[in-house]
C-alpha cells in the first residue's frame, strides 16, 4: 500500500471482496474513506468470482479501479474455495499489516478472510453484520455467524441485526447501526441506470434471477419453475439474466432453450441490472441483495425461499416470501399483476450515507488510539 496523508499516522485499511455483491458494497466505503487524509486503503479480490461479467465490469462501473491484490482462487467446493483463500490471503495480510481488514456480506471470501485475521491478531470489521436467516443449511448463514463472532467491529444495516447480535452475546459497544451500503451505491448510480438497459428489453416485464444451490441444484424444481415461468410469460414477458451455476444446471438437464416470451441472457453489469429492476413490473428472485434493492425501488419482489435474513424487506418493504412452492409463485404473480400496489416504506438509514457512518467510526476509533501509541503503530506500518 502506498502511504498517503499523515506519514506514520496513516490508518491502513485492507478491503477483502470476492463475489458480485461484495463489489457493490465496498465501493461506497472506499469512497467515503478516501475523503479522509489519514487513510491509506487497498482492495484485495479473492477471485471467487472471476468472469468478466461477474467481476471486472463491476469494478469498472463502480469506479473502484483494479484491485491491488487478486488471489485468483476461482471455483471449487466450499472447503476448497475457503481453504485456498485462507492459504493465499495469510502471507499478504502478514506482509501488509493493515490496521483494519474490512469484510463484506456473507460469502465464502468473507469468512475465509475473517478466520485469517482473527488468528494473527489483525483487527476485523464486518460490513453488513447481524443478518440471520436462522437456517444453518444455508452456507451464507454459517459465514455470517462465524464472521460476526470473529469481528472486532460490526456494522449493521438495520435494527434486527443489532437484536440478533445482542441475543448471541456480542458486546453492544462493538456494534454500530449504520444503514445499508448497498443502497448507498444504488442511490449514487440510479441516475445512470435507465440508459444502461439493453435496447431490446420490453417496456413492461417480469425480472427473474435464480442462483441459490438449494433451488437450482434441484433439477426437478428448476424444470418446474421454468415451466411456470413459461406460462407466466403469456401474461407478461420475462427477462432472466442467468448466473453461471444456473446456466450449467440448465445445460446439464437440457432445460431453458429460448422459449416463448422468456428472454434468457448472460449475467449483466450492475447498471443495466439496476435499470432492469427499476423498470420491472415485479421481480422473482432468490438473491439477498435484490430483496433490498427492490424495497428501495418500491418494486414488488417475490422471494423464492423459505426464509430471509433480511426480514425488514418483508415487514416494511415490497418483499414477499413465497417459499419454494412454484404454485405459490404463480398465484402471487397473478395477484400482483391484477391488484393495486400498496406503497411501502424504505427502512431507516437506507439513505445513501451508510458508508460515511462506517468511515466516521473507523477513523474515530483508530486515530484516537494511534495518537497515544505511536511507537507501536510505527512498527506495524511499513
Ligand atoms: C456466491 C455466494 C452467494 C452470493 C453469490 C452472488 C457463497 C457461499 N455464495 O454464490 O452468497 O449470493 O455469490 O452471485 O460465497 N462461476 C463462474 N464464473 C464466476 C463465478 C462462478 O462460472 O465468475 C460458476 C462456477 O461454476 C462456480 C459456480 O458459478 O462453481 C458458483 O460460484 P460460487 O462463487 O462458488 O458461488 P455463487 O453461487 O456465485
List the chain domain ranges. Answer: 11-180+350-366, 195-337
Cα 74 vs. chain centroid, distance in angstroms? 18
Q: Residue 126: enclosing H or E segment and its boundaries? A: strand 123-127
The gap between the terminal CA atoms of the chain, to the nearest Å, is: 9
Q: Which of 20, 73, 103, 107 to mutate to test the pocket of ligand 1 (most atoms within 8 A of CB)?
A: 107
**Cell 493493515 sits on residue:** 98
**Burial label, 76 (beta-carbon count in 10 A; 0-12, 13-18, 19+):** middle
Cβ atoms 1, 39 nearer than 8 A: no
Cβ atoms 106, 19 nearer than 8 A: no
| Ligand 1 pocket member 50 (CB < 6 A) | yes
pLDDT score for 8: 59
Closest CA to 43 of 61, 82, 25: 25
pLDDT score for 37: 87
Residue 193, all three cell numbers: 441506470
**Collapsed DSSP state (helix, strand, coil) of residue 125:** strand
CA distance 232 to 238: 8
Compute the Cα dihedral for 235, 237, 241, 245 and give only its sign: positive
Verify whether residue 176 is a known catalytic residue.
no
Regions in the chain scoring below 50 on pLDDT: 2-7, 367-382
| Ligand 1 pocket member 48 (CB < 6 A) | yes
Compute the Cα dihedral for 132, 185, 317, 261 and give only its sign: negative
pLDDT score for 379: 26
pLDDT score for 258: 65
Residue 337, all three cell numbers: 399483476
22 Cα–ligand 1 center, Å: 12
pTM of the shown model:
0.93
The neighbouring-strand residues paired with 177 are 156
Q: Which CATH superfamily is domain 11-180+350-366 in?
A: Glycogen Phosphorylase B; (3.40.50.2000)
* CB-CB neighbours of 129 under 10 Å: 28
E-only strand ranges, 71-134: 100-104, 123-127
190 Cα–ligand 1 center, Å: 25
Is 3.10.20.30 the CATH classification of the domain at 195-337? Answer: no
Closest CA to 362 of 129, 130, 94, 152: 152
Cβ atoms 324, 274 nearer than 8 A: no
DSSP state of 107: S
CA distance 53 to 346: 30
CA distance 50 to 213: 19
pLDDT score for 375: 25
CA distance 183 to 296: 8
**11-28 as b/e: b if 16+ CB within 10 A:** bbbbbbbbbbbbbbbbbb
Please give the number of the atom of ligand 1 that sits closest to the Cα of 105.
Answer: 11
| Ligand 1 pocket member 21 (CB < 6 A) | yes
Closest CA to 106 of 186, 161, 58, 55: 161
CA distance 134 to 313: 16
pLDDT score for 378: 26
Q: What is the DSSP string of 3-42?
A: --SSGGG-EEEEEEE-SHHHHHHHHHHHHHHHTSTTEEEE
pLDDT score for 374: 25
**Collapsed DSSP state (helix, strand, coil) of residue 362:** helix
Radius of gyration of the chain (CA): 21
Exposure on the CB side of residue 210, measured as CA atoms within 13 A = 29
pLDDT score for 372: 32
246 Cα–ligand 1 center, Å: 10
pLDDT score for 1: 57
Q: Do domains 11-180+350-366 and 195-337 have the same CATH topology?
A: yes
47 Cα–ligand 1 center, Å: 11
Supply angle C-alpha 235, 270, 231, rounded to 5. 15
Q: Which of 55, 79, 209, 244 to mutate to test the pocket of ligand 1 (most atoms within 8 A of CB)?
A: 244
DSSP state of 175: E
Amino acid at each position: 500500500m502506498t502511504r498517503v496523508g499523515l506519514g506514520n499516522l496513516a490508518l491502513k485499511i485492507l478491503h477483502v471482496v470476492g463475489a458480485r455483491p461484495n463489489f457493490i458494497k465496498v465501493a461506497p466505503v472506499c469512497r467515503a474513506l478516501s475523503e479522509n487524509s489519514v487513510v491509506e486503503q487497498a482492495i484485495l479480490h479473492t477471485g471467487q468470482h472471476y468472469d468478466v461479467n461477474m467481476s471486472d465490469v463491476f469494478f469498472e462501473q463502480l469506479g473502484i479501479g483494479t484491485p491491488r491484490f487478486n488471489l485468483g482462487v476461482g471455483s471449487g467446493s466450499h472447503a476448497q474455495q475457503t481453504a485456498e483463500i485462507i492459504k493465499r490471503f495469510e502471507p499478504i495480510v502478514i506482509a501488509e499489516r493493515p490496521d483494519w481488514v474490512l469484510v463484506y456480506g456473507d460469502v465464502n471470501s468473507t469468512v475465509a478472510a475473517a478466520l485469517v485475521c482473527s488468528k494473527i491478531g489483525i483487527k476485523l470489521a464486518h460490513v453488513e453484520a447481524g443478518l440471520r436467516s436462522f437456517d444453518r443449511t444455508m452456507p451464507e448463514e454459517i459465514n455470517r455467524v462465524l464472521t460476526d463472532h470473529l469481528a472486532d467491529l460490526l456494522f449493521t444495516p438495520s435494527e434486527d441485526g443489532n437484536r440478533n447480535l445482542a441475543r448471541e452475546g456480542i458486546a453492544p459497544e462493538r456494534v454500530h447501526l449504520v444503514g445499508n451500503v448497498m443502497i448507498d451505491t444504488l442511490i449514487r448510480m440510479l441516475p445512470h441506470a435507465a440508459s444502461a438497459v439493453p435496447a431490446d428489453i420490453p417496456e413492461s416485464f417480469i425480472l427473474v434471477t435464480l442462483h441459490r444451490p438449494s433451488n437450482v441444484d434441484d433439477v426437478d424444481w428448476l424444470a418446474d419453475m421454468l415451466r411456470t415461468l413459461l406460462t407466466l410469460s403469456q401474461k407478461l414477458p420475462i427477462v432472466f439474466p442467468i448466473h453461471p451455476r444456473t446456466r450449467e444446471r440448465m445445460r446439464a438437464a437440457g432445460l431453458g432453450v429460448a422459449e416463448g416470451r422468456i428472454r434468457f441472457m448472460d449475467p449483466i453489469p450492475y447498471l443495466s441490472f439496476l435499470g432492469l429492476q427499476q423498470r420491472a413490473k415485479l421481480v422473482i428472485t432468490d438473491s439477498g441483495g435484490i430483496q433490498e434493492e427492490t424495497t428501495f425501488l418500491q418494486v414488488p419482489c417475490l422471494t423464492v425461499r423459505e426464509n430471509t435474513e433480511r426480514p425488514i424487506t418483508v415487514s416494511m418493504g415490497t418483499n414477499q416470501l413465497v417459499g419454494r412452492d412454484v404454485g405459490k409463485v404463480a398465484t402471487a404473480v397473478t395477484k400482483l399483476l391484477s391488484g393495486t400496489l400498496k406503497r411501502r416504506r424504505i427502512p431507516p438509514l437506507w439513505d445513501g450515507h451508510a458508508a460515511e457512518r462506517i468511515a466516521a467510526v473507523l477513523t474515530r476509533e483508530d486515530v484516537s488510539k494511534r495518537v497515544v501509541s505511536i511507537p507501536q503503530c510505527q512498527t506495524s506500518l511499513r
